[in-house]
Amino acid sequence: MTERAYRKRQQRFYFCVLIRLAAWLYQLVGGLLFRLMPATIVNQGTFDRLSTQDRKGIAVPWHCCVPYGLWMTRNLGVAVMASRSNAGSLAAAIVRRLGGIPVRGGSRDGGAAALGEIVQLVNHGRWGLIVGDAPRGPAHVCKIGPILAAQRTGRPILPVAFAAKRHWTLNTWDRTIIPKPFSPVVWIWGDPFFVPSDLDRAGLEEKRQELEEVLKQGQDRALHFWSTPEKQMR
């Protein structure tokens, strides 16, 4: 489907109603189920320290973490980049419902403008969130957007990883993780990842590859959280 077709569909009344209903259902289900999942938050102190600063940073998860990750942004006023696709419209509605700021645009449409808006919001004290392999993958291949945002703001990327001990894995390009009811979950804040302001194109690509590896290692750490001594080391 072309971006023009997306926009035409998204202007229809029934689509707007369905999106708002879906966002409300997400908030309801999140309130009922996510709160009942025993959650371990690793490295929370790093997030808290950045949150006390006038300018914070850019959280970067993989796309497979989005269903739970949107819940983690609730009431934080996070600026979240969401594509202009139908799925992006749903994510944007959920972000808005949870008190965040959806910034519409992706690598195929409106990405430059969306990146500029994220940079501006981070510079004005908001947390930013850019999904590393969004909007359409390939899975676990990091795009350049988070690197550019970190370079232009001078603020760190905070890599994110997530897993559930018992979960469903959707047959989608990103292998989305859906926690089963009452399953223990783990959310891992990584160490701050800085991007120097004076890097050229080659240097930015090197940092992109470095961030991609950090995100992969973090996700592997989360997926093996219950099978290693990890939980005693947090």
Alpha-carbon torsion, ordered 97, 98, 101, 105, to 10 deg: -70
In the structure, what pLDDT confidence band is assigned to residue 107 with cuts at 50, 70 and 90? low
**DSSP state, residue 189:** E
What are the sequence ranges of the domains in the chain? 3-233
| 12-35 pLDDT per residue, tens | 666 788 899 999 999 998 888 999
| Coil, helix or strand at residue 81 | strand
Helix or strand run (H / E) with residue 60: strand 58-60
Mean of the per-residue pLDDT values of the chain:
91
Global pTM? 0.90
Taking 60 as the threshold, does the pLDDT of residue 233 lie above it? no
d(CA 90, CA 93): 5
| 129-161 pLDDT per residue, tens | 999 998 888 999 999 999 999 999 999 999 999
Does CATH place domain 3-233 in 3.40.50? no
